Structure 1
Amino acid sequence: MKNYSLLVTLLLFSSLLTAQQKEWTLEECVNYALDNNIQVKQSELEVELSDIEKRDALGNFIPSINGQATNAWNTGLTQNVTTGILQNQTTRNFSAGVTAGLTLYDGLRNFKQLQRARISRIASEYSLDKMKDDIALFVADAYLQVLFSKQNLEVLKAQNEVTQQQLVRTRDLVEAGVLPQGDLLEIQATIADEKQRMIVADNQIQISLIGLAQTLGIKDYQNFNIAERDYNIFGNEILENSVYDIIEKAKEERSEIKIAEANRELAEMDVELTKGAYLPTLNAFFNYNTRESGQSRIIGSTLDPNEPTRQIGIVESSNEIVVAPNAVPTLGSPLPFFEQLYRNDGVTYGLQLNVPILNGFATRNQVRRNEVNVKRAQFQLEQAELDLEANVYQAYTDARGAFEVYEASLVAADAQERAFEYATERFNVGLTNAFDFSQAKIRFENTQREALRAKYDYIFKLKVVELYFGIPVGDLKF
């Protein structure tokens, strides 16, 4: 009894977990992917880098300020800066300074660099928008594939139930001698084939779910599932527009053209930046410096009692020796640290003008390289326009063709359903054999599957056209 109670508790707990399992709608999947997909995050990093580039350009207008300080010891035979005598000693010297610089004129390169950074920021935003559109379409395609696989499995299960019912009826008729044994074997073979296809369909569902979860960045594959709802066809009135109207709208709205235009502007700004190297640059600078030493200082002098005078020369005419008092300096302790800094400080300031004269044609060659890049960017813009026209025309044609296929698949499914009902009636009264009945059933299953496939294929291709028409991802209706 205890084991039975435990089993019931586990079953109830399992049912509760299953009931609490989140089932994702298509809108939730798209929104989650836009926030968590790795490729979208990488595009967001490019936008962040463009913001840093813009701050770099703004920083060029701000003065540069640098401070330096040095405290050094020197040991060995060196000149005593106080007495001027070479001697083995250890000296310590400290120096410090602050330097400020400001660019007053550099051929307007700072202003152009800021303009370029702003254009680069816009281009990064366009790239992010394009990535979001691509990910949204990719998620929608993967989601609809999962939904198709699930509904395909439901079709197989429903048909298998019909076959199971026919198996019971056929067994009774065979035992009554109305139908041959071969019909029973045919039905049993059909059931085995249907079970095999259901296993394959279930595996396909799991594979599709894992692929969708990876796109979203979800690692809990086992508990990931989508909401099983029937998505209707919305927005097919967009196909009432001519393909040329959609192409013109796409040129105005799509990020591909905007990215190419921004890249051309960046190439043109690079030319202007490089031409700025032809012009002189004018910089202002200011430096404050001071120093301190641990050396003893001279605080006075006295005559050397042992040698009060010293020779400093000879008179050429009389050969008389010229002498001077031989004063010996009196050394004292160095002044306090901060007093020395105060006494020994100084400033330097001025302007520096640099005029480019010759640099081995480096600037001229760089200008020519960038001019070539402008032409390349222009060609890329033209190619982007051609590619967009081709893609829109292809998407428009695919959507219209998918709609025609969908309508035809509905007609075929309706016809095969009536044919299957007729075959079922004939089989029930013994007017057809199990093989013909199975073939009619297979044809009916195939048309149902193709109708589902055509439906979701049309929905996806219709959304592609809507994106080209400039409808935002968040406004797409499913």
Structure 2
Amino acid sequence: MLKRIPLVFSLFIAGALQAQAQEQDSLWTLQRSVEYAVRNNLDIKQSVLNERLAKLQLQQSQLAQLPSASASGNYGRNFGRSIDPTSNQFIRSGYNFMGLNGNVDVLLFGWFQKRHTIERNRSLMSAATADLDQLKDDVSLNVATAFLRVLLAREQIGIARSQLGFSVKQMEQTKAFVSVGRSPELDLAQMESQVATDSSNYYSAQATYFQSLLDMKALMNFEIADPFVPLAPNVDVVPVTEVIGMKPEQIYTVAKDHFGSIKSGQYKYAAAKKAVDVSRAGLLPQISLGGQFGTNYASSYTEPTGVTVTGSVKNGDFVNINNNIYWIEQPTLKTDLRTIPFGTQIWDNFRQTVALSANIPLFNGWSTRTQIAQNRIDMASKGLNLEQTKLKLKQDVYKAYYDAMVAVQKYYAATSAAEASDRAFHFAEKRYELGLMNALELLTTQNNGYKAKSDALSAKYDLIFKLKVIDYYLGKELKL
């Protein structure tokens, strides 16, 4: 029995450590949540694919500068009456054939179009990268917003629970007062109604928390069933001195230099400008050097290997010698043939061609010039989009700055109101216990205090969010 004690103790320690590890794994800070969302957000994954496609297009346009080469071959058998490829004569017997061909083409003049295409695709790739960076920043800000909403909803649950506890306590105290005739039955009914209202508020706060948690998980592409516990930092002291000392124009200047949407607009404008150059290069001639080679084999291509005399025949001629007639005979011959070997035919039939070609565009229905005009319009449109993006960024920065300034004032006012409501409720509670205040007046003071606490909490998280928006425009890491 004593030997089993260390084993049981070890299993207990291992289970405790595993439970602690699981609990630690379920705790999520804002920074960890942002990093997870950047890795798993579906929109970001789609944008990564777009960036990869842009890189492949750039790579392909660069490889298009290399000479083109191709090779082909065929093998088959011919039946029936056809042309002998070795003699160009009609034959009726079938034969086997094979051919090998190759082609090489090098562009000597006409690189302008390819060079401009490379520059355009490079700008488009940079635009895709900038779009990806902007999307990561946007998702980070959205995650920070959702994270703060979860924290706010969780603290609202605490306030609602505290409010419900106070109401239950007051209801029990009122029951005691009614039982001794110190308070009327109406006070007890009002307290019971307040307890029911506070219970409803408590459950509503829980529902709001669970809904905000689901929104957070969906944004992160987080498994819905997995535990997620947001780790609340110490935000009792909200730093507001930095943003108060800044000017909105300073924030805009910083944002304009690093914002992905601005960079993307600039790269897209540069790509549209290069597209004009690509279409204009279509008006220039192109000169290329080409080379071709080929060879073939046919089983009908034969050569004699020897002659055999098989006999003789009279050819119809004769000679007269001393009045004797002698008929002339000629030998009959049999020629032995063989198919010329494959390697010999391939080598003997090998042919090469080198040609210099020029392609001069003369008239194509003005399609090239129309394309140039269209690309110029697209370039102007991209320029307007860039200016519009800058203008919207400036408007958003100024709005975020003034919203932060208002949030600072609301935070200070709401904090002062919450502190004053706490004092007022403390005095009201004492007066109610002494019989100097009825239940309705106490409930009014209590509800005012609950609302003031809720408003102060909302103002605090609203200010934190507004400050995170300023950090977002300044390009700072979003963390608490």
Please indicate the TM-score interval, normalised by the length of the shorter structure.
0.7 to 0.9
User: Given residue 399 of structure 2, which amino acid in structure 1 is its aligned partner?
Assistant: Q
Shift, 1:358, TM fit = 1.1
| Distance across 2 between alignment mates of 1:101 and 1:163 | 90
Given the two structures, how large is their TM-score scaled by the length of structure 1? 0.87
Give 1:314's aligned residue: none
Q: Please give the residue correspondences for 1:144-155 in structure 2 after superposition, counting only pairs within 5 Å.
A: 144-155=148-159
Shift, 1:235, TM fit = 5.7
Given the two structures, how large is their TM-score scaled by the length of structure 2? 0.86
- Match for 2:252 among 247, 259, 262? 247
Give 1:221's aligned residue: 225
Could you list the per-position Cα deviations for residues 171-217 of structure 1 after superposition, in whole angstroms to 9, with x for gaps in the alignment? 11111111112212221221121111111111111111111111111
| Distance across 1 between alignment mates of 2:88 and 2:58 | 56
Q: Please give the residue correspondences for 1:264-303 in structure 2 after superposition, counting only pairs within 5 Å.
A: 264-299=269-304
| Distance across 2 between alignment mates of 1:85 and 1:259 | 68
Give 2:396's aligned residue: 391
Distance 1:234 1:42, change over 3 A: farther
Q: Please give the residue correspondences for 1:102-113 in structure 2 after superposition, counting only pairs within 5 Å.
A: 102-113=106-117
Give 2:123's aligned residue: 119
CA contact (8 A) 2:306 2:337 kept: no
Shift, 1:362, TM fit = 1.0
CA contact (8 A) 1:155 1:445 kept: yes
User: Given residue 299 of structure 2, which amino acid in structure 1 is its aligned partner?
Assistant: G
Cα RMSD after superposing both structures: 2.8
| Mapped pair 1:446 → 2:454 | no
Give 1:133's aligned residue: 137
| Distance across 1 between alignment mates of 2:461 and 2:204 | 20
Distance 1:82 1:148, change over 3 A: closer
Give 2:44's aligned residue: 40
Distance 1:277 1:80, change over 3 A: closer
Shift, 1:229, TM fit = 3.6
| Distance across 1 between alignment mates of 2:268 and 2:451 | 50
Shift, 1:233, TM fit = 2.5
| Mapped pair 1:201 → 2:205 | yes
Shift, 1:162, TM fit = 1.7
| Distance across 2 between alignment mates of 1:83 and 1:471 | 80
Residues matched between the structures, number: 450
| Distance across 1 between alignment mates of 2:61 and 2:278 | 12
Distance 1:398 1:84, change over 3 A: closer
Give 2:80's aligned residue: 76
| Distance across 2 between alignment mates of 1:280 and 1:328 | 64
| Mapped pair 1:94 → 2:98 | yes
Q: Please give the residue correspondences for 1:377-388 in structure 2 after superposition, counting only pairs within 5 Å.
A: 377-388=382-393
Distance 1:420 1:330, change over 3 A: farther
| Distance across 2 between alignment mates of 1:78 and 1:92 | 12
Distance 1:95 1:31, change over 3 A: same
CA contact (8 A) 1:209 1:221 kept: no
| Distance across 2 between alignment mates of 1:93 and 1:268 | 54
Gaps of 5+ in 1: 1-8, 310-324
| Mapped pair 1:372 → 2:369 | no
Shift, 1:31, TM fit = 1.0
Shift, 1:381, TM fit = 1.7
CA contact (8 A) 1:298 1:330 kept: no
User: Given residue 425 of structure 1, which amino acid in structure 2 is its aligned partner?
Assistant: K
User: Given residue 38 of structure 2, which amino acid in structure 1 is its aligned partner?
Assistant: L
Shift, 1:35, TM fit = 1.3
Shift, 1:100, TM fit = 1.7
User: Given residue 187 of structure 1, which amino acid in structure 2 is its aligned partner?
Assistant: M
| Distance across 1 between alignment mates of 2:248 and 2:348 | 83
Distance 1:128 1:83, change over 3 A: closer
- Match for 1:338 among 343, 353, 356? 343
Give 2:442's aligned residue: 437
More moved, 44-53 vs 295-304: 295-304
Shift, 1:17, TM fit = 8.8
| Distance across 1 between alignment mates of 2:264 and 2:50 | 13
| Distance across 2 between alignment mates of 1:58 and 1:346 | 33
User: Given residue 33 of structure 2, which amino acid in structure 1 is its aligned partner?
Assistant: C
User: Given residue 475 of structure 2, which amino acid in structure 1 is its aligned partner?
Assistant: I
> Residue 339 of structure 2: SS of its match in structure 1?
coil
> Residue 300 of structure 2: SS of its match in structure 1?
coil
CA contact (8 A) 2:27 2:231 kept: yes
Distance 1:356 1:21, change over 3 A: closer
Distance 1:434 1:235, change over 3 A: closer
Distance 1:109 1:81, change over 3 A: closer
CA contact (8 A) 1:102 1:285 kept: yes
Give 2:327's aligned residue: none
Give 1:321's aligned residue: none
- % identical equivalent positions: 26
| Mapped pair 1:178 → 2:202 | no
User: Given residue 361 of structure 1, which amino acid in structure 2 is its aligned partner?
Assistant: W
CA contact (8 A) 1:235 1:477 kept: no
Give 1:352's aligned residue: 357
CA contact (8 A) 1:104 1:283 kept: yes
Could you list the per-position Cα deviations for residues 213-255 of structure 1 after superposition, in whole angstroms to 9, with x for gaps in the alignment? 1111111435222124443523641232222222233222322
Give 1:420's aligned residue: 425
Shift, 1:67, TM fit = 1.4
Distance 1:15 1:50, change over 3 A: closer
| Distance across 1 between alignment mates of 2:134 and 2:341 | 68
Distance 1:244 1:228, change over 3 A: closer
| Distance across 2 between alignment mates of 1:361 and 1:107 | 22
Shift, 1:142, TM fit = 0.5
| Distance across 1 between alignment mates of 2:190 and 2:92 | 114
> Residue 34 of structure 1: SS of its match in structure 2?
helix
